[in-house]
Chains A and B, each alone.
Chain A
Amino acid sequence: EDQVTQSPEALRLQEGESSSLNCSYTVSGLRGLFWYRQDPGKGPEFLFTLYSAGEEKEKERLKATLTKKESFLHITAPKPEDSATYLCAVQRNYGQNFVFGPGTRLSVLP
């Protein structure tokens, strides 16, 4: 059974304090791993798609990386507006549904 776990469950950072969020997955063959950001009371906002081990994607202060077992979302010098829940999801094969992780709630304090 495909499983996705995320750690930590919650993370509190000071503004400017860089850190990483982890998404670990067990899936028999990965077609894609997706990162989303969700603000309270809103739908998830798409951030990145990663397809193969070694791939990296960047957007502003965020960088996502992928290995054969996990993905990291690195946040460099975060700002309070980066506070949100970050979700990762995996897709096993083309056309199949996503399996979402439970998310990491990030709080960045000024």
Chain B
Amino acid sequence: GAVVSQHPSRVICKSGTSVKIECRSLDFQATTMFWYRQFPKQSLMLMATSNEGSKATYEQGVEKDKFLINHASLTLSTLTVTSAHPEDSSFYICSARGAVVGGETQYFGPGTRLLVL
């Protein structure tokens, strides 16, 4: 139980294009989803928190117009990196928290490696 998937697992794109990453909770309803960014050998950096049907709450320093988050249902959240640039290259990880499953525990997806050329 408590499985979270991400798609794609890896994406390479040209500078200036937009990339969409999907995060799905497969066997539970996720009332809250989180998006993190992780640089090599560093810990997780929270980018934003989203509740189903509400606007995402972004952490300080994260551009909401660049990182668009949509949490349209209790099992799906998407992160769109708009007009991606090489400095956006990173490992993006989502996590989900369910109202019933796991209490406050966050269950993480496998991550998406983004490389912007």
Contact = CB atoms under 8 A, between A and B. Distances in A.
A70 to B, nearest CB: 17
A97 B49 contact: yes
Given A97-B49, A101-B43, A102-B43, A46 B105 contact: yes
Nearest to B2: A46
Given A44-B44, A101-B43, A49 B106 contact: no
B54 to A, nearest CB: 13
Nearest to B91: A41
Interface string B96-117: 0000001111111111010000
A46 B105 CA distance: 8
Interface of B: 2, 4, 6, 34, 41-44, 46, 49, 91, 93, 95, 102-111, 113
12 contacts: A31-B104, A36-B108, A42-B111, A44-B108, A46-B107, A46-B108, A49-B103, A91-B104, A97-B46, A98-B106, A100-B43, A101-B43
